[in-house]
Structure 1
């Protein structure tokens, strides 16, 4: 057994050496597909994934891999003269091409031509599920799989230079073999549009963004693909309106900011509202933006709301990012400066140019895996609300209430007075889906509480929390929000099990959103936690975003 295992390892190493030599000599996919492969790329063997060969790419991203796999397979079929059409599959994160069953042998032969140029994998599918192990196109196993599977999943594997982000066949291109039956082509599995098409169904060309909600609909040009008219139609569930993102951010360690804050007493009626942990910047924003670019490439524009600050690493060259100062959104200059997040949040809808539908992030919120606009909005414009199991305390306001609980109780009174219902649940600390027009309406409807909150320099017992709670109940009772679910994790840096939980999260990468929060740590804990957190975030999100300054910008 040891000899067999050692032989397999040796063969695997010889295999990667052969591929690396081809790359070095230029006899690779760079010659055949120069727009898909770059001279600086290399290969790596992923020991934890059965020795799969990954293309190492500094800009690896799920959307990038999805698009590259689609373009690769389309070019193979075009070169072989094989007819195909894109299908609206049941996953937004991979593409689907339909071909006639009669062309099966030609398809398998076309895939086999990659064996001397690029490490492209193939696996059989049963429905949407992979069956068996993946194998390199051109191998005996790949030919066997291609000869009988009704659906093949094909594609490359990408990894960042540190191999901490590995992207595989989840972002591949499925090839479906449609059989001929009663003069029509019949699908081998369910899709989102049709069970069959006519043999002479006309082909049309559409942007890839028409077929998936994961594409960058409003921000960049996307490639076109050949499909049939049934798949080219916009569907009722498709979110077609633009979605922006708003962040609020502060660097509490900046000396000038500290001097401004020190002019206004000790800050707040409760220890949590004054605790320095609330204002600590551990570079979370950098990684939250990386997560956003990686897992929500469909976002149109990002607005960063700050108080005369911006991170040193932030690039202002991106046309998709705007830094907004508090003075630009507060209607009354007397309310500034403010160190109250409730006050700042009450003014977000005043951002000039902000889209009607937007997501609000704190800098400690992260998207943990790919998402679509439909995860946060319905196509009719309604926003999704993610309720938390945590509850707002039932008793009335007390002197010892934490700011979050005091605001929750004030929210409850407003909802009870206006809709006769007592809110109980808090919301998950995940990205908040909001509508700008509803926020303007609330500012007018609850003018007194809104004005009081916007003028509270520190968190106050009279505050209301608008985008993180009150909006969602108000929008629900007025028919513009719906309760929904999101896979979510909340991690508290002050908890003793934090290191273990971060490790599990990194290993699984299965949460759509997670929050890493801290409100009570002291200085000693902060230093230790910062090292641990930065290592975790760098491993989870290793690919820089377009919002970061490149080395030449820093000079």
Structure 2
């Protein structure tokens, strides 16, 4: 089939015109627990940036600061500091409460304040941030006014409530009448504090959904304790007391927490998790020469089509750079990254970074006579030999990306069990000469598991990041020694090898060390024109937890146009430079301090959440153990 040229397909420039996600507020990135007003900013007139403030730009109805260096956890932590600082400065008591979430979601918090301090909180927020680039959004059970400049907060609350005050403040009780219920809907029960940010290309926005909410907890009456006004916490909707009992660390700052939130919960993942990447640069002439020599020695049949030697399997479009960016953006809790290569190093990689270790194939393989290899299965058979690798890790190919914030529970349960994502059915017939090496490897692995355990796997696993236990990979190397030695010795895939990670998945499951979970993923065949057209959706929605850009189909798209489209997408999807990249002197990193006038008061909690990008795993936005206070 004739490849489509640039006139019939999307070049990078054409794709960039498609990367125009909805304006801030048009759709929340993720649902939040509890009642909340619809966001009306999308219908409001477009904001006008003030003269002489080039860092602020209009982004729908909001003014956003242009920043190219911020990640989600840092923005959330900064907004937490903005919300807490005026309370600290004015002696208003508060505690931090963890919002309810699924185990696979990242941890989030709100500030809990007793309802009796509501008027004081509204007043100090307005006075502290009047004239500054901060938005305050009143939250009630019904529709609210949306994000507001600080100077209009108290007046907007009065208009919203129309003189209705909570019963605890002497207002009307909810007597069940329609008028009373409508009044209850209008009561302001919280305030969201945030500063909007946007990248210069407008492909990454941090709006209200990244803000910190101050919720006004009401007394529970005769039963004692306090009740959350909307939403839920990880300990439920009621706590015996809001009195501080300990402090908790968030991104370098410490905040008080009540006794109800000091205990380790059953689904808390509290063990370290590493990441392992494999990568190859097909443009390296020395690597290409090694591959050609090895292919000639192996024979044309062993290195022909269907044996994993197709050019697109090795093609490097700088995906590794952006996959590592996604890791820093959406999984900052990763402890350490191990990069396995055939003595190749990307020019942009900061090899001196303390959170990164390069692993050569020469270090990985116990038998140097097996090298060089150009077979991912051979490499995967040796991952347990990585020196310093932790027990729990997540394995990435460089074409795999995180698409949104995830917690450690996305990959591992708190009891240590790996969460694995199943995919296609393994054909039930035996391995045949006409099978390609992928299908043959899955069939061989199925038969090896069935032969040892008497149970027959029926499905493959998704081409997505894989959770794994180092000790179980080591055990498989012993239990399936002949099969895995043969796999490690194959420079190119053959019809006899196993898939080490499929083998791990089923042996871990049968050992009670893994569970099968629903995959939240998108697979994009960047060789297929229809599939490639989905890339703009991944800019606008940012919904799937993981996605993969894999070269399956060949010959339908001009390679230059394909590369331009993929690079344009990756740059737009992950515009924030990662911690493992060499500092670009022209990019202005580390970022300059924000103007002093924009800082919260000096007595804010310790730790600057808007500091330079941190190493992955350095604790950005992570929760440390509660300390008695």
Report matched runs for 1:291-330 at 5 Å. 291-330=326-365
Q: Would you say 1:485 and 2:518 are equivalent positions? A: yes
The residue that corresponds to 1:116 in the other structure is: 131
Q: Shift in Å at residue 317 of structure 1?
A: 2.7
SS in 2 for 1:116: coil
Q: Deviations over 1:330-386 (max 9, x none)?
A: 111111110000000111111111111000000000000101100110111110011
The residue that corresponds to 1:88 in the other structure is: 98
Report matched runs for 1:391-470 at 5 Å. 391-467=425-501, 469-470=502-503
Of residues 515-524 and 230-239 in structure 1, the stretch that sits farther from structure 2 once superposed is: 515-524
Distance 1:125 1:333 in 2: 67
Q: Is the alpha carbon distance of 1:125 and 1:161 closer, same or farther for their aligned partners in structure 2, counting shifts above 3 Å?
A: farther
Report matched runs for 1:7-22 at 5 Å. 16-18=48-50, 21=52
Does structure 2 conserve the Cα–Cα contact (< 8 Å) formed by 1:54 and 1:159?
Answer: yes
Q: Deviations over 1:396-427 (max 9, x none)?
A: 11112122111100111012112222212111
Does structure 2 conserve the Cα–Cα contact (< 8 Å) formed by 1:403 and 1:459?
Answer: yes
Compute the TM-score of the two structures, normalised by the length of structure 2: 0.76
Distance 2:64 2:404 in 1: 20
The gaps in structure 1 that reach 5 residues or longer are 1-7, 25-41, 209-220
Does structure 2 conserve the Cα–Cα contact (< 8 Å) formed by 1:135 and 1:142?
Answer: no
Q: Shift in Å at residue 143 of structure 1?
A: 5.9
Query: Residue 151 of structure 1: which of 174, 181, 190 is its match?
Result: 190
Does structure 2 conserve the Cα–Cα contact (< 8 Å) formed by 1:124 and 1:145?
Answer: no
Compute the TM-score of the two structures, normalised by the length of structure 1: 0.86
The residue that corresponds to 2:322 in the other structure is: 287
Q: Is the alpha carbon distance of 1:145 and 1:168 closer, same or farther for their aligned partners in structure 2, counting shifts above 3 Å?
A: farther
Does structure 2 conserve the Cα–Cα contact (< 8 Å) formed by 1:306 and 1:326?
Answer: yes
Distance 1:125 1:492 in 2: 45
Distance 1:131 1:465 in 2: 55
Of residues 338-347 and 310-319 in structure 1, the stretch that sits farther from structure 2 once superposed is: 310-319
Q: Shift in Å at residue 193 of structure 1?
A: 1.4
SS in 1 for 2:146: strand
Query: Residue 370 of structure 2: which of 332, 335, 343 is its match?
Result: 335
Distance 1:510 1:130 in 2: 25
Aligned length: 507
Report matched runs for 1:177-256 at 5 Å. 177-180=216-219, 181-182=221-222, 183-189=224-230, 190-198=232-240, 201-208=243-250, 222-256=252-286
Q: Shift in Å at residue 177 of structure 1?
A: 0.9
The residue that corresponds to 2:618 in the other structure is: none
Distance 1:67 1:76 in 2: 15
Does structure 2 conserve the Cα–Cα contact (< 8 Å) formed by 1:194 and 1:230?
Answer: no
Distance 1:72 1:203 in 2: 23
Q: Deviations over 1:2-57 (max 9, x none)?
A: xxxxxx99x967x6333x54x57xxxxxxxxxxxxxxxxx112113xxx2121222
Q: Shift in Å at residue 142 of structure 1?
A: 5.7
Indicate the structure whose relative CO is greater, using CA pairs within 8 Å and at least 6 residues apart: 2
Query: Residue 497 of structure 1: which of 494, 514, 530 is its match?
Result: 530
Q: Would you say 1:536 and 2:569 are equivalent positions? A: yes
Distance 2:543 2:225 in 1: 40
Q: Is the alpha carbon distance of 1:426 and 1:78 closer, same or farther for their aligned partners in structure 2, counting shifts above 3 Å?
A: same
Does structure 1 conserve the Cα–Cα contact (< 8 Å) formed by 2:195 and 2:211?
Answer: yes
Dislocated runs of 4+, deviation >6 Å: 129-132
Distance 1:304 1:496 in 2: 31
Distance 2:371 2:159 in 1: 70
RMSD: 2.4
Does structure 2 conserve the Cα–Cα contact (< 8 Å) formed by 1:123 and 1:130?
Answer: no
The residue that corresponds to 1:471 in the other structure is: 504
Query: Residue 97 of structure 1: which of 111, 133, 142 is its match?
Result: 111
SS in 1 for 2:261: helix
Higher helix share: 1
The residue that corresponds to 1:168 in the other structure is: 207
Q: Is the alpha carbon distance of 1:427 and 1:131 closer, same or farther for their aligned partners in structure 2, counting shifts above 3 Å?
A: farther
Of residues 102-111 and 62-71 in structure 1, the stretch that sits farther from structure 2 once superposed is: 102-111
Q: Shift in Å at residue 442 of structure 1?
A: 0.6
Distance 1:269 1:245 in 2: 32
Does structure 2 conserve the Cα–Cα contact (< 8 Å) formed by 1:304 and 1:324?
Answer: yes
Distance 1:308 1:110 in 2: 58
Q: Is the alpha carbon distance of 1:16 and 1:504 closer, same or farther for their aligned partners in structure 2, counting shifts above 3 Å?
A: same
The gaps in structure 2 that reach 5 residues or longer are 1-40, 166-186, 588-629
Q: Shift in Å at residue 325 of structure 1?
A: 0.3
Report matched runs for 1:26-65 at 5 Å. 42-47=55-60, 51-65=61-75
